[in-house]
Structure 1
Amino acid sequence: MLAFTPYAAAAAPLPIVVALLLRRRRAAVAATAVAVALAAAVLPRAVGGAQPSARGPVVRVLTANLLFGRADPGRIVDLVRRNGTDVLSLQELTPGARDRLERAGLTRLLPYKVDEARVSARGAAIYSRHPLLALPPLEGMSTAMPEAEIALPGGRRIVVTAVHPVPPLSSDWYRRWRHDLAELPAARAPLPGGDPAPTSSFHGPAASHPVDETSEPIRILAGDFNATLDHAGLRRLLGRGYADAADRTGAGLVPTWGLGSRRPPLTIDHVLVDERCAVREVAVYDLPGSDHRAVHAEIRLP
């Protein structure tokens, strides 16, 4: 029910009006207090907030849940091309969907990848414009959540995780969902092994994109979290050094899932960035064939 907090906030003035009409002063005061608390929690997502001073390179990240691989591959490739996307995080990627995307031209735009496609909703992948190093997969997760260290031009590095915990639809899945969110790495978590990856380890012509061994990699989590900003698990993750890109830019209430259904749409797809990053822009796009919308974030590194 926490996922529907924005709807509760929108309806909060109604009990105040009813209490005033019935001349229930104490009830009106209590309802007003609740409305103020809900507004304080929800409204900042629609207006954005202060951004840190970041002067590093710009990275453009797109995330999309393909709904068992059914999303229109041409639409994905078009979004990558139009937005100049550097990194693409895909969830519910099947082998067939991967093949359709690559036939549609995805690897001509993003030639480097970590591929964990599966014949189920548990597949995922990361595609990159720049050379990458596949990191060891996160252990004990309910779905594939690949990680990649990406070498940007100029020597900066980012670490991207494709996120997709199971939805909390049963008591067992709820426990797994909580576990998966809790096990995601903190923004400044060390890389597996603790040492920076050598330039020669990156897939692709790393010599043309030298890696600065002394620079700290910046983490980005992108995917379908099956959680809104009202869920405690996601708030705890944000408290470990992240910021929600949409929240930073005033797009935090734009729904990403459930449009066109009888359910109230929710915002469960996110791009989380190291809180030292500045978010220049976030856009949300319809995705034919999927019940999710794609989220694109333009991020400036510190």
Structure 2
Amino acid sequence: MAAPRKRRRGWLAWTVVALLALWAVLRVGGLEWGSFPTQLMTVTPYGAGLAAVVALLSLLRRNRPAALAAAIVGVVMASVVVPRAFGADQPVTGGPALRVLTVNLFGRGDAQAVVELVRRYDVEVLSALELTYSVAAALDAAGMKELLPYRVLQPEFGATGSGIYSRHPATELTGLFTPIGHNMPAATLSLAGGRKVELVAVHPNPPLGRKEAEWRAVLRDLPSASSSAIRVLAGDFNASLDHRAFRDLLERGYVDAASQVGQGLTPTWPNFRAIPPIISIDHILVDRRAGVAHVEILDVPKSDHRAVYADLRLP
């Protein structure tokens, strides 16, 4: 009886290793397509950990070939995940600072807590997603109107609303791209000294079912970095660095602020007490000519997302 049981365990180990290897190939090759593979990419950091566990268990059961194969898969997956926890070289910049906060308010985020974050971190521009009329009113009642008086708001009664709040004069920017699914306002911010910064509040639908193609279309249509303007894309991208579509966007002239300072593995969703955050889908992207001095991932009561704060240094 021992031999058949051992063979079954061996086949189980090799089946898991084969599935992990397929996952690694899809991730490294950027081959994910369709709803399920696209969602699977979001948890690639856990896939690397799972491969390590399979390698250890296989070794304990003296299945050395399976242990070696799982270890190789784990190393491959870790190679694309671990660097974002160590940061990257920063460009030398001589421009002004720009302190940015983005938060998906979930239609009921604690307005007073958001205003306190704006005050505590001396935020200059806020990208607010899932902004309802009631939350917009609550933010102003809590003091947002005094802290960030300029705004380009497109609130709604449901999750499709978004808005940009700014300390600096803000002018709505139209025609930059075609929003799909959610309102995604863009604005030109006029900083002191005549500097201009373009900011987009990003929030595509998640890549669930038929919306996966729509999600890809939004990421593909977002504006590239420009030599004539400094651009910042801030919001809930419903995407992680393990998505090919998101990496393609970065390759068009941006860096992920959190990854630049070693915070790229800090999860932002879901932020419920019973369920800790497990994936990183909220981001601040900035022109790669800019520097990133500091990033923090912050809790916002009553929202299912954590906020992302970035202290940027403009070129």
Q: Is TM-score (shorter-chain normalized) higher than 0.5? A: yes
Residue-by-residue CA offset, 1:76-131 (whole Å, 9 max, x unaligned): 11000111101100000011111110111101011100010111100000011011
Q: Distance in 1 between matches of 2:72 and 2:278?
A: 26
Q: What SS is found at the alignment partner of 1:7? A: helix
Q: Return the TM-score normalized by structure 2.
A: 0.84
Asked whether the 8 Å contact 1:60–1:296 carries over to 2, the reply is yes
User: Which runs of 5 or more structure 1 residues have no equivalent in the other structure?
Assistant: 190-215
Task: Report the CA distance between 1:233 and its aligned residue.
Answer: 1.1
Q: Gaps spanning 5+ residues in structure 2: where?
A: 1-39
Q: What TM-score, normalized by structure 1, do the two folds share?
A: 0.87
C-alpha distance in 2 between matches for 1:12 and 1:152: 48
Structure 2 residue 275 is the aligned partner of structure 1 residue 237: no
Which of 58, 61, 64 is the aligned partner of 2:103? 64
Q: 1:264 Cα deviation (Å)? A: 6.1
- Tell me the amino acid that sits aligned with residue 8 of structure 1: G
Aligned to 1:20: 59
Change (3 A) 1:78 1:55: same
Which structure 2 residues correspond to residues 217-296 of structure 1 after superposition, within 5 A? 217-260=229-272, 261-262=274-275, 265-296=278-309
Aligned-pair identity in percent equals: 47
Q: Which has the higher helix share?
A: 2
CA drift at 1:263: 7.6
Shift, 1:53, TM fit: 1.2
Q: Does structure 1 conserve the Cα–Cα contact (< 8 Å) formed by 2:271 and 2:303?
A: no
CA apart distance, 1:18: 2.2
Match of 2:173 in 1: 135
Q: 1:85 to 1:167 in 2, by over 3 A?
A: same
What amino acid is the match of 1:4?
Answer: V
| Residues 1:165 and 2:177 are matched in the alignment | no
Equivalent residue number for residue 196 of structure 1: none
Letter in structure 2 aligned against 1:271: I
In the alignment, the residues of structure 2 paired with residue 63 and residue 264 of structure 1 have an alpha-carbon distance, to the nearest angstrom, of: 16
Please give the alpha-carbon distance, in whole angstroms, between the structure 1 residues aligned to 2:126 and 2:145: 11
Preserved contact between residue 142 and residue 165 of structure 1 (Cα < 8 Å): yes
Q: Which amino acid aligns with 2:244?
A: A
2: CA distance, partners of 1:140 / 1:150:
20
Matched, 1:30 2:43: no
Residue 301, structure 1, aligned to residue 314, structure 2: yes
1:85/1:262 CA distance change after superposition, 3 Å: closer
Which protein shows a greater Rg? Answer: 2
